[in-house]
Amino acid sequence: MADDTRAILLDIEGTTTPIAFSTTCCFRTRAHLREHLNDIPDPAAITLLKQEWPRDAAAAPKLPRPDESMESLAKYVEWLMDRDRKSPGLKALQGLVWQRGYRAGALKGVVFPDVPRALQRWHKAGIKTAISFVRQRPAQRLLFGTTTFGDLTPLLTEFFDTSAGAKTFEDSYRGIATALGCAPPQLLFVSDVGGEIDAARRAGCQVVLCVRPGNAPQQVSEDQRFVHSFDEIETAW
Summarised one tens digit per residue, pLDDT across range 54-75 is 888 888 877 877 776 667 777 8
Q: What is the pLDDT of residue 138?
A: 80
Find the mean pLDDT for residues 187-199.
95
Give pLDDT, residue 234: 79
CA–CA distance, 211 with 77 (Å, rounded to integer): 30
Higher per-residue pLDDT: 153 or 98: 153
- Residue 108, pLDDT score: 85
Render pLDDT for 90-109 as a digit per residue (tens, 0 to 9).
877 777 777 777 877 777 88
pLDDT, mean over the chain: 85
Class of domain 7-17+109-232: alpha beta
Using 50, 70 and 90 to split pLDDT, how confident is the model at 43? Answer: confident
Contact by Cβ (8 Å): 213, 20: no
Q: Region 107-135: what's the mean pLDDT? A: 91
- Percentage of the chain lying above the pLDDT 90 cut: 44
Q: What is the pLDDT of residue 236?
A: 34
Residue 36 has a pLDDT of 60
- Range 201-207 average pLDDT: 96
Residue 14 CB neighbours (<10 A): 22
What confidence score (pLDDT) does residue 163 get?
A: 81
CA dist., res. 177 & res. 175, Å (int): 5
Out of 48-52, 122-126, 227-231, least confident range: 48-52
Higher pLDDT, 184 or 236: 184
* pLDDT range class, residue 134, cuts 50, 70, 90: low
Residue 178 has pLDDT above 60, yes or no: yes
Q: What is the DSSP string of 163-226?
A: GG--TT-HHHHHHHHHHTTS-GGGEEEEES-HHHHHHHHHTT-EEEEE--TTPPP----TT--E
Radius of gyration of the chain (CA): 18
pLDDT beyond 70 at 237: no
Q: What percent of the chain has pLDDT over 70?
A: 90
Comma-separated ranges of CATH 3.40.50.1000 domains in the chain: 7-17+109-232
pLDDT of 235 above 60: no
Spatial separation of the C-alpha atoms in residues 163 and 66, rounded to whole Å: 24
